[in-house]
């Protein structure tokens, strides 16, 4: 911005540009984006997962064998059990716990009689690890949102208080 005079003189953002550091606005934007992403994870993914886990409380019980272990929290575990006289392989839903178990572990699951491929570990019927992750993501989203608002007000006040050139 050569040759352009500023009515208020150098400001908060000029120092950041001169030193090669990112503008404080970048921090506010990143913080808001993190708040939105974590809030979306909590509200759109984890809380519905908790409700899905709880929805099978009245389901049929069966002894199941873990046939594919992995990260159960993100839905990468499969169990095998007998339902209605046939062998069923079901993928445990997002939010399930038990990811540290190895293949061959025996679990009690609950499933819908009309849809046995929808199964949940009986230990997860209260919400499993999904409830903890939902509240953690929600809390972090709130923290990022409050931080970005605080920094925005701080920068606005700092800019208003900067001395006017003589």
The encoded tokens of residue 44 equal 């759109």
- Both tokens of 72, joined, read 């159960």
Token pair 């209605």 is at which residue? 84
Where does the chain have alpha helices with state H? 12-19, 24-40, 47-54, 128-161
Cβ atoms 103, 67 nearer than 8 A: yes
Collapse the DSSP code of 66 into the 3-class scheme (helix H, G, I; strand E, B; otherwise coil) and give the result: strand
Threshold 0.85, pTM exceeds: no
115-121 β-sheet, strand order: 86-91, 78-83, 60-68, 106-112, 115-121
pLDDT tens digits in sequence order for the chain, 166 residues long: 555 555 555 555 555 555 677 777 888 999 999 999 999 999 998 888 888 888 888 999 999 999 988 788 887 889 999 998 899 999 888 888 877 778 888 999 999 989 888 899 988 888 877 888 899 999 999 999 999 999 889 888 888 887 766 5
């Amino acid at each position: 911005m050569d040759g352009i005079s500023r009515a208020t003189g150098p400001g908060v953002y000029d120092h950041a540009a001169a030193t090669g550091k990112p503008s404080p606005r970048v921090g506010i934007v990143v913080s808001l984006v993190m708040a939105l992403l974590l809030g979306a994870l909590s509200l759109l993914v984890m809380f519905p997962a908790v409700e899905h886990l709880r929805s099978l409380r009245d389901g049929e019980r069966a002894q199941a064998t873990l046939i594919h272990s992995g990260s159960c929290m993100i839905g990468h575990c499969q169990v095998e059990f007998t339902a209605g006289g046939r062998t069923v392989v079901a993928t445990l839903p997002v939010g399930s716990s038990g990811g540290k178990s190895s293949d061959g572990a025996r679990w009690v699951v609950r499933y819908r009689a009309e849809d046995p491929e929808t199964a949940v570990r009986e230990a997860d019927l209260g919400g499993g690890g999904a409830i903890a992750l939902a509240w953690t993501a929600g809390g972090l989203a709130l923290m990022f949102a409050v931080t970005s608002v605080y920094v925005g007000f701080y920068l606005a006040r700092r800019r208003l208080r900067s001395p006017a050139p003589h």
